[in-house]
Amino acid sequence: MNAPKYQIAVICGSMRLFDDMLTVADELTRQGFLVFMPFVRKNHNQPVLTRTGSELEQQYGAAYARSAVHLDATPISGEALDVMHRAKIDLADLVVIVTNEAGYIGESTAAEIDYSTGKVKPIAYVRVDKVDYRDAITWLYRNSAGALTARTGSRSAITESAAS
């Protein structure tokens, strides 16, 4: 019996939006994608454990709380994490950029968009909104002015990538 062939999606975005990335990963999996995404936080190309959890939490929020970093974490540089994430992009059939209502795209994510564009990878944009205390996924597109705009009537990531 032959194993099914799945498309691969890689999620890019600020680690401040980690919970939203997990929501998007859930939806992409339901759409039939194998999903890659970042799971390790970095701090300006320094080993992750050079700053205390409380410093990170104060600067970046609860995702960086002391309880979010396991005690025996293997040190890894931000540069190594970037190389690893680019390898995920190389394997991907679709790059999914997670942003927020303000359209936030940080420096690392912008670099990943540039890398993906250079590799001629289809790129989809998405944000997670809160509706009645639940997550609602909104797929986005770049309009002629370059602004991210909600796509109406679409529940699929693949539609956006095909239209790009």
pLDDT on residue 71: 58
Q: What is the dihedral of CA 26, 65, 85, 148, to 10 degrees?
A: 60
pLDDT on residue 146: 82
Residue 122, domain member (yes or no): yes
pLDDT on residue 46: 39
Listed residue (19, 20, 47, 7) closest to 161, CA to CA: 7
Based on the fold, state whether residues 88 and 150 are members of the same structural domain: yes
| pTM of the predicted structure, to 2 decimals | 0.78
pLDDT on residue 43: 58
pLDDT on residue 44: 40
CA distances from 43 to 36, 88, 105 (A): 21, 20, 17
Residue whose tokens read 């809160």: 130
Mean pLDDT in consecutive groups of 10 residues from the start of the chain, 164 residues: 90 93 96 93 49 62 55 77 96 97 93 97 94 88 84 66 42
Residue 120, domain member (yes or no): yes
Based on the fold, state whether residues 126 and 100 are members of the same structural domain: yes
Based on the fold, state whether residues 126 and 57 are members of the same structural domain: no
Based on the fold, state whether residues 127 and 88 are members of the same structural domain: yes
Distance CA 13, CA 38 (A): 9
Domain that holds residue 63: 43-75
Residue 24, domain member (yes or no): yes
Based on the fold, state whether residues 56 and 134 are members of the same structural domain: no
Contact 88, 118 (CB under 8 A): no
Single out the residue in 75, 93, 128 at which a domain terminates.
75
Distance CA 11, CA 59 (A): 23
Distance CA 61, CA 132 (A): 24
Q: How is residue 100 written in tokens?
A: 């927020």
Provide the CB-side half-sphere exposure for 35 (13 A, CA): 21
pLDDT on residue 49: 45
pLDDT on residue 70: 58
pLDDT on residue 116: 98
**How do beta strands 134-142 and 123-131 pair?**
antiparallel
Distance CA 163, CA 62 (A): 36
Length of the chain: 164
Based on the fold, state whether residues 141 and 62 are members of the same structural domain: no
